[in-house]
Amino acid sequence: MRHNFGAGPCILPQEVFKQASQAVLDFKDGLSILEISHRTPEFEGVVEETTKLVKELLNVPSGYSVLLLQGGASLQFAMVPMNLLPEGKTASYLETGVWANKAIKEVPAFGKANIVGSSKADNYTFIPKGYSIPEDSAYFHCTSNNTIYGTEMFSLPETNVPVICDMSSDIMSRVIDVSKYDLIYAGAQKNIGPAGLTIVIVKDEILGKVDRKIPAMLDYKVHIDGGSMYNTPPVFSIYVAMLNLRWLKSKGGVAEIEKENIAKANALYKEIDRNPLFKGTCAVEDRSRMNVCFVMENPELEKPFLKLAEENGIEGIKGHRSVGGFRASMYNALPITSVHTLIELMQIFAEKYQ
């Protein structure tokens, strides 16, 4: 039995793997999903259903478009200012980690970046609060979950400027009010599907307000007009995303999975706080439900604990090099039984070394 706590690309439901594996052999009339044209009615149906499932699961209001793109969050870092920041204007950014920082670095090619809050000096162990967003900002950009550091933003600042959010690592994990955002983007490879797909949810009315020439592939309007089929889309990644979103819907949707995610996070943080060998690395109020970062009071015990975990089928809990220790990523498809297994090992270890 393997317990995949990897940070991403990450665990997806076993039944999704089975269905995807079958479609690689036979998607339709003996043809593989890898050899069908994206212009067949069958695949157009896949794009349509995937788009509809995103809208349904996140309760996306009218006036928003859902796009299935390529290039990951990293390409969105540039597409956002290219499409939304008029020449010479300023955009406000909240700096909550390396990914937020990479988004900020793409701004100067298009306008000015104003960092309204940062926890960089504290190695991003908390989400800055109490900052103010200048009214003349073209937009405010934030990262809802910081995979590396294990912090999550559970509330948005009050502001009148458009809100743009990189939701790569917690989209579909909890209920959000999409109407509070003007653009949401997410690399698919956590709770949506395999790598190679990017989801964008954009309020149509914010587009078309910059003068610069935007290459077709980087223009949200081109993709809206093309129904996410302006060019050949990442067929298989979209198909698997559809299977995974169907699974999420069958589980009761985002509200139901959120309950499970809260239960998983609470169980593990409780053990971290209780167990004298371990400690969390982040401000308690900003603790992520998706990525739980923790270290050991005695760093010398980290190696033997990692060994014990790996011997028991725990995958991917080595912490990111910039934090150290451990990171248990607990995306939607990770069963709570895997979390219980990890907790038990922490308890066994504590009994031995305490």
Nearer to a copy of itself, 157 or 196 (CB): 196
Beta bridge partners of 184: 165, 201
Residue with smaller CB distance to a copy of itself, 219 or 286: 219
Cβ distance to a copy of itself smaller for residue 191 or 275: 191
Per CB under 8 A, contacts with a copy of itself among 314-333 are: 315-316
Is residue 6 a contact residue for a copy of itself (CB under 8 A)? yes
Q: Which is nearer to a copy of itself, 186 or 272 (CB)?
A: 186
The answer to whether the CB of 254 falls within 8 A of the CB of 55 is no
Please, which residues bridge with residue 120 across strands? none
99 is in an annotated binding site: yes
Q: What are phi and psi of 242, to 5 degrees?
A: -60, -45
Binding mask 79-118 for a copy of itself (x = CB under 8 A): ---x-------------------x--xx-xx---------
Q: What are the E-state strand segments in 255-353?
A: 278-280, 291-296, 314-315, 326-329
Are the C-beta atoms of 205 and 83 separated by less than 8 Å? Answer: no
Report the SS3 class of residue 9: coil
State yes or no: residue 179 binds a copy of itself (CB under 8 A). no
Would you say 232 is a known binding-site residue? Answer: yes
Residues 192-231 that bind a copy of itself (CB under 8 A): 194-197, 212-218, 230-231
247 is catalytic: no
- Options 102, 120, 122, 190, the catalytic residue: 190
Q: Least separation, in Å, of the C-beta of 6 and a copy of itself?
A: 5
Is 40 within any annotated ligand binding site?
no
Min CB(255)–a copy of itself separation in Å: 25
Residues numbered 36-75 forming contacts with a copy of itself, rule: CB under 8 A? 36-38, 70-75
90-95 and 140-143 as β-strands: parallel, antiparallel, unpaired? parallel
Binding-site member from 65, 147, 151, 237 for a copy of itself (CB under 8 A): 237
Contacting residue, 127, 199, 235, 254, with a copy of itself by CB under 8 A: 235
Q: DSSP string of 75-138?
A: HHHHHHHHHH--TT-EEEEEE-SHHHHHHHHTGGGTSEEEEEEE-GGGTT-S---S----TT-S
List residues bridging with 119 in a β-sheet. none
> Is 311 a residue that touches a copy of itself (CB under 8 A)?
no
Tell me the torsion sign for CA atoms 230, 236, 237, 239.
positive
* Min dist. Cβ of residue 228 to a copy of itself (A): 13
* Contacts (Cβ under 8 Å, ≥6 apart) of 185: 73, 76, 80, 164, 165, 166, 167, 168, 198, 199, 200, 201
Chain residues in the site for a copy of itself (CB under 8 A): 2, 4, 6-12, 17-18, 20-22, 24-25, 29-32, 34-38, 70-75, 77-78, 82, 102, 105-106, 108-109, 187, 189, 194-197, 212-218, 230-237, 240, 315-316
Q: Which residues are the active-site residues? A: 99, 166, 190
